[in-house]
Structure 1
Amino acid sequence: MSSMLAAPWWVAQLATGAKSFRDNPVIGSQRLNAMGLHAGRARLAHRLAWARRARLTAGLPAADREAFDRDGFVIVRDFLPTALFAALRDAVLAHRFDTREMRQGNTITRRIAIGPGFLRTVPAAQALLRDDRFRALCRYVGSFRSEPLHYIQTILTDSGAPDPDPQTNLHADTFHPTLKAWFFLNDVEEADGPFSYVPGSHRLTPARLAWEHARSLTAGTSEDFLSARGSLRVRAEELPGLGLPGAQRFPVPANTLVVADTCGFHARVAATRPSRRLELWSFSRRNPFVPWTGADLLSMPGIAERRIDAMWHIRDRFQNWAGQPWKPSGNKLVLDD
């Protein structure tokens, strides 16, 4: 009876960005995926994303567009003028903020919502958030004229802990194009566990589509929990068969911006020493099946900057049903142990 009642909800999710093979028996159906369900969703989502991107080139430097179309990411060093960057970094380091944390293996991810209260404390953050090039990159890569969610994020890794961080395995976040951006507030060296990305893996080539189809047949019963939830893992030795090179690593100096489509294969490199990576992190993921670029009510001023707190509070209230991995962790400095 419960399955019968849930069936319309499971079917309706096919028209959204829902991705879990494990939690939705329609999305995870081996029979339907053998008939092309997952591959068809991926094909349509990518086609629509590139069509939207073609309408979102205003204000985007040609070199940035060429780099993204080729590689799936754009990297810009010395993004902000030196004085503006220093003001932003120093203000973030100087103040205490209400934090939330999630542990995955030997890594804790700490987040601070960039909302009205944060912006009153750190007005220098607007130097990045209102930068024309930053906004143009986020729109083009994300394929929507939407305001991303913005956080201050600290990645704290204990390299000596026995439990590995699952984010160090190459993976795609989901089956459709989506945006993540990292603006690094401190230097990230090779030993600190930098971001890595497989160039060109954001394109849905025939080889990638065949891989998606094959993985969809077994993902629902995969022992890898994150793959079963729709964030498919890929082994480095599979990349040549997909016509892809190895992952490129990004040890970078502070004041570097990286913007990427995380349906491409990427990972956090395993740190070889205890490390703290500090960044202004941005994320955007809308329904991949809408053809329009705008009409996002949640991006309206007055709403956009309050979404994170609202989302956290809703999940706190309904965590038994919706889950809540982000636990309140107190008022802290961003680099506190």
Structure 2
Amino acid sequence: MNALAPLLAPLWFAQLFTGAKSFVDNPLIGSTRLNALGLHAGRVRAAQALAAARRRRLADGVDPEHRGIFDRDGVVEIRDFLPAATFSALQEQLFSYRGPAREMVQGDTITRRLAMDPAARRAIPAFEDFRRDPRWQGLARYVSGFDIEPLLYVQSILPRRRDAAPDPQLAFHADTFYPAMKAWLFLEDVPVETGPFAYVKGSHRLTPQRLAWEKQRSLGARDGDCRLSARGSLRIDVSELTGLGLPQPSVFAVPANTLLIADTFGFHARSPASAPATRVEIWAYGRRNPFRPIKGWDVWSLPGIAERRIPLRWWLGDRAGGWIRQPWLPVGVKGAADG
């Protein structure tokens, strides 16, 4: 690695101006000396400022009530999101659909995803009523801070495996150092015993306390014993929240047909489940280079390209060998709720 350092140094430097977040993969991002001087904190501050500027230009597309809730809490919950007839059709079509599936194992939890690719969209025409809903379109863009089309999947959280390590998603964490969007339209009820999404309201805001915490954590993340924190998804213990001026987490046990959308710079987790269950949802994900000042002009959001991104990403990951980590393994043709 030392022999390659002069060749890799320009790449490492260029990554400072992207969403690269791993303290172990980039020696500049992980440098204790540079972070003591404020490198990580400066990237966090700059990313937040740019996201705020882009959101101001996207604000008119969001219902003022929802925008106010998001700005305050970092998460928005909308029950009965779709008309009853539309939601019933979506459920029937989605649970009947079978397509190429991928799964990832994290601890004792298995997550399955099916891409909402052209084949899935033809088989599930009611999905377009959701995707084209102006409330969804406006919120997805405002929360992500970009005028982009998010990645869209059918996602299933499958019953826990026995005799496995705990799910790392049970620990409260921020996905990355900059604002990003995740959303769920739940196809089934999510009672508290099945491990609902939990979020620390207000933790998406960059307060002086949060910035100081980010700087402090950046000094030891590279050499710490938490692999996911070292890769840039910093973990936090709930006992630390009070010191940051934050409340205890809110748990979102919600009925079917609830849309939940959150900024995952805020601290969040999957709450512990006390009963085995399969949960099915439409899951969305949206983020881009946080240092990109413009809100739109995204080629990956163009019709004909947007709906093919997920199969392309999976195909590239399969063929990239060790260069790109591919945690999503093919498991054949399956339905969302198949055992």
TM-score (normalizing by structure 2): 0.98
Tell me whether 319-328 or 278-287 shows the greater mean CA deviation.
319-328
Provide the aligned C-alpha RMSD in A: 0.9
The equivalent residue for 1:223 is 225
Q: 1:291 aligns with which of 279, 293, 306?
A: 293
- 2:296 counterpart SS class: coil
Q: 2:280 aligns with which of 278, 281, 295?
A: 278
Matched to 1:124, the amino acid is: A
Matched to 1:29, the amino acid is: S
The equivalent residue for 2:333 is 331
Unpaired runs of 5+ residues, structure 2, are: none
**1:162 to partner: Cα distance:** 4.0
Where do residues 1-337 of structure 1 align in structure 2 (5 Å cutoff)? Answer: 1-158=3-160, 160-337=162-339
Distance 2:335 2:201 in 1: 35
1:172-214 CA distances to partner (integer Å, 9 max, x unpaired)?
0000000001100011011100000000000000000000000
Q: Is the CA contact (8 Å cut-off) linking 2:24 and 2:231 kept in structure 1?
A: yes
Distance 2:161 2:12 in 1: 40
Tell me whether 135-144 or 313-322 shows the greater mean CA deviation.
313-322
Residue identity over aligned pairs, in percent, reads 55
**1:332 to partner: Cα distance:** 1.1
1:138-163 CA distances to partner (integer Å, 9 max, x unpaired)?
01101100000000000113275441
Q: Is the CA contact (8 Å cut-off) linking 2:144 and 2:179 kept in structure 1?
A: yes
Matched to 1:177, the amino acid is: P
The runs of 4+ residues in structure 1 deviating greater than 2 Å are: 159-162
Unpaired runs of 5+ residues, structure 1, are: none
Residues paired across the two proteins, number? 337
**1:58 to partner: Cα distance:** 2.2
Distance 2:216 2:102 in 1: 37
1:278-319 CA distances to partner (integer Å, 9 max, x unpaired)?
100000110001111001111111111111111110111103
Distance 2:321 2:132 in 1: 34
Q: Is the CA contact (8 Å cut-off) linking 1:159 and 1:271 kept in structure 2?
A: no
Distance 1:31 1:336 in 2: 50
